[in-house]
Amino acid sequence: MTHYLIRRFLLLPLTLFAIILVNFVILNLVPGDPVNTADRSSTGDLTRNSDSEGSMEENHHLLFREHYGLTLPIILNNWPAITREKVDAAFEQLLTKTKNGKEMSVQDYHELRVRWGDRARYIMPILFEKANNPSLSFEERKIAVNLFIRGGTQMGFVGPTLNPRQKQLNRAIALSNQQLAESRVSDWDSEHSLKSKIANLASWYAAKGGDSAFTKQGVPRLRALLLETRFSRYLSRVLALNFGTLRNDSNKTVISEVIKRIKYSLTLAVVPMIITFALCQIFGMIMAVKHNQWPDISLNILFLILFAVPIFVVAPFLIEKVALHHTIPFTNIPIPFSGFHSSYAVYDKLTSGERLADTLLHIMLPLTAIMYGTLAIQSRLSRTAFLEVLRQDWVKTAHAKGLPLKMVLIKHVGRNGAITIVTSLATSLGVIMGGSLIVETVFEINGFGRFFYEAILNRDYNVVLFSAFASSLLTLVGYIIADVAYTLLDPRVNFA
């Protein structure tokens, strides 16, 4: 067993890497990016706003994309190998706003500008040469200058825990970006103003090292091919356990926000799992022993009904018919139906025992809403597993030896039948990170479900990617826990 666990833990990073890669590629191939935000109209419908030129400074818009790594290719970066012919063809499209002889739409033209803005840092010598070429038109030189500025503009370090070196680099980056921004060319600039701004860029370019500093050949090009990509940047942060900051607040890290909600989602995931395991063993055993008798038939019908009723019907039903205008039996205490516990003004004054009772009272209805569907499924699954075990010859032998029915059911049938349930429950450990969106929303619990749902609407890649990473890790750990449980429940299982 020890050697098996060692092999599994050695394979864990490789498996996790493959899962992260697949999730990352799929997420980055989805149309749109974090710059697109989701709002709700007065009718409650979701609408999309793009933080582009119309609503945000263009430079801010592009820096925002760089913050999320969207200015780089996904897996491999061959942009240092872009030829002058491709650049000339792109300039032709930017000047004429046509593609294949047809006029480009506003969206296509915007995407073209953004695409070549992302590639600008890898074609800086070509852009600088075009900007300094007096034989080119004013418009073409303007495009070259603005793309050059985009290529030279850098993204500073963000987050609440910057070290002194990062703060110093941020100041240097800010000064460099300011010098570049002052050279941006607009339609109102004259030829003389254009020359002055190009001269300013020439001094900046020389200070940075000129063509040699921005030309990648040999090992630097290979390094860019493999390492200057979205995935390599994200993976390097993951290896450092840095999952980034929130989209709307760079002072809040993803980890800190998850930690705030972990007690809610862990409680609403682990407690129902334990209760479900115990109850489904009992109900499954009753249905198996009383096979085709009235307990089996009635419980089967009940669980089929529970399974068929959706949670978005049950949760409001529990609030309206159980909690509203009702009190706990034999008391005058109203049944709470919102929050994980009482308000902090009340909760902070309670003793430890009173806090536990207050929390249990508040999560009673949410646990019921979460648990009923899983209990229905697992009880029927448990019934099938127990029926199969009861038909085994060694169970009949135990009966023939005169062992009490209770001992046979608990020691022999229960342990072997529980293997199926353990598999189902342990491998669902990953759903902890997903939370229960409907339950958390209806009962106003600030858990993972609402957090990740809002992240998807806001295109907050850092939060969404962390959710995929954490869920995958917990699922893989769940498989290992299930394997260990097999050997504890059935000594015949050997993973050597």
Neighbours of 496 (CB within 10 A): 6
Q: What percent of the chain clears pLDDT 90, i.e. is strictly above it?
A: 17
DSSP state of 248: S
The reply to whether 208 and 269 lie within a common domain is no
From 194, 210, 228, the end of a domain falls on 228
Residue that wins the pLDDT comparison between 422 and 451: 451
- DSSP string covering 420-449, please? HHHHHHHTTGGGGTT--HHHHHHTT--SHH
Greater confidence (16 vs 8) lies with 16
Domain identity same for 391 and 463: yes
Question: Is 370 found in the same domain as 306?
Answer: yes
Selection from 1-5, 19-23, 154-158 with the highest mean pLDDT: 19-23
Rounded to 10°, the helix 138-152/191-208 angle is 30
The reported pTM is: 0.73
- Residues 84 and 196 occupy one common structural domain: yes
Q: Is residue 193 part of a domain?
A: yes
Is residue 312 domain-shared with residue 444, that is, in the same domain?
yes
Please list, in sequence order, all residues whose beta carbon lies within 8 angstroms of the beta carbon of residue 252, skipping any fewer than 6 positions away.
160, 245, 246
Band (46; pLDDT cuts 50, 70, 90): very low
Q: Is the pLDDT of residue 321 over 60?
A: yes
Distance CA 397, CA 87 (A): 82
What confidence tier does 47 reach under pLDDT thresholds 50, 70, 90? very low
Q: How far out from the chain centre does Cα 457 lie? A: 12
pLDDT of residue 361 exceeding 80, the answer is: yes
For residue 181, what pLDDT is reported?
Answer: 87
Q: Which of 74-78, 230-234, 241-245 has the lowest mean pLDDT?
A: 241-245
Same domain, 380 and 460: yes
**Chosen domain end from 193, 228, 263:** 228
Is residue 36 scored above 70 in pLDDT? no
Average pLDDT over residues 372-401: 84
Of 119-123, 217-221, 350-354, 424-428, minimum mean pLDDT range: 424-428
- What is the C-alpha separation between 81 and 200, in angstroms, rounded? 28
pLDDT exceeds 90 at position 391:
no
Same domain, 446 and 297: yes
Q: Grade residue 416 by pLDDT with cuts at 50, 70 and 90.
A: confident
Residue 250: CB atoms within 10 A of its CB come to: 14
Nearest alpha-carbon partner for 470 in 290, 251, 238 = 238
The winner for highest mean pLDDT among 170-184, 258-272, 477-491 is: 170-184
Say whether pLDDT at 204 is over 90. Answer: yes
Average pLDDT rounded to a whole number, residues 350-363? 88
Beta-carbon count within 10 A of 73 CB = 17
Across 19-35, average pLDDT: 78
Q: Domain check: are 219 and 310 in the same one?
A: no
Higher pLDDT, residue 32 or 325: 325
Question: Can you tell me the mean pLDDT for 131-145?
Answer: 91
Q: 480 lies in a domain?
A: yes
| Domain hosting residue 104, numbered range | 76-228
Query: Does some domain include residue 408?
Result: yes
User: Is residue 51 scored above 70 in pLDDT?
Assistant: no
Can you give the CATH number for the domain in which 386 is found?
Answer: 1.10.3720.10
What is the average pLDDT score of the chain?
82
Q: What is the pLDDT at residue 86?
A: 93
17 lies in some domain: no
- In terms of domains, do 371 and 438 share one? yes
Backbone angles phi, psi at 47, to 5 degrees: -125, 160
Residue 92 lies in a domain: yes
pLDDT in tens, 63-82: 667 766 778 899 999 999 99
pLDDT of residue 42: 42
In the predicted structure, residue 491 carries a pLDDT above the cut 70: no
Number of domain units in the chain: 2
**Is there a single domain that holds both residue 291 and residue 428?**
yes
Residue 439 sits at the vertex; the CA angle it makes with 433 and 443, to the nearest 5 degrees, is 120
Query: What average pLDDT does the segment 420-437 reach?
Result: 68
pLDDT higher than threshold 90 for residue 298: yes
Q: How confident is the model at residue 297 (pLDDT cuts 50, 70, 90)?
A: very high
Most confident of 373-377, 436-440, 483-487: 373-377
| Distance (Å) of CA 290 to CA 121, 279, 376 | 74, 16, 17
Distances (CA, A) of 492 to 59, 392, 495: 65, 15, 10
Start-end of H helices in 326-351: 344-347
Which pLDDT does position 435 carry in this prediction?
58
Looking at residue 333, what is its pLDDT?
81
> pLDDT-derived band of residue 264, with 50, 70 and 90 as boundaries?
confident
DSSP 48-116: EEE-STTTS-HHHHHHHHHHTTTTS-SS---GGG--HHHHHHHHHHHHH-EETTEEPPHHHHHHHHHHH
- Give the mean pLDDT of 294-317: 89
Which residues are paired to 50 by β-bridges? 36
Query: Vertex 118, ends 141 and 226: CA angle to 5°?
Result: 135
Residue 295 within any structural domain of the chain: yes
Are 263 and 392 within one domain? Answer: yes
Does residue 36 lie within any of the structural domains? no
Same-domain pairing of 169 and 299: no
Tell me what the mean pLDDT of segment 95-116 comes to: 87
C-alpha–C-alpha distance, residues 90 and 69, integer Å: 23
The three state secondary structure string of 452-487 is HHHHHHCCCHHHHHHHHHHHHHHHHHHHHHHHHHHH
Place of tokens 């070196």: 165
Look at residue 234 in the predicted model and tell me its pLDDT.
87
Say if CB 212 and CB 434 are below 8 A apart. no
Q: Return d(Cα 275, Cα 267) in angstroms, integer.
A: 12
pLDDT at 125 over 90: yes
Asked if the structure places residue 342 within a domain, the reply is yes
CA of 341: how far to CAs of 6, 338, 355, 364, in Å?
Answer: 42, 8, 8, 11
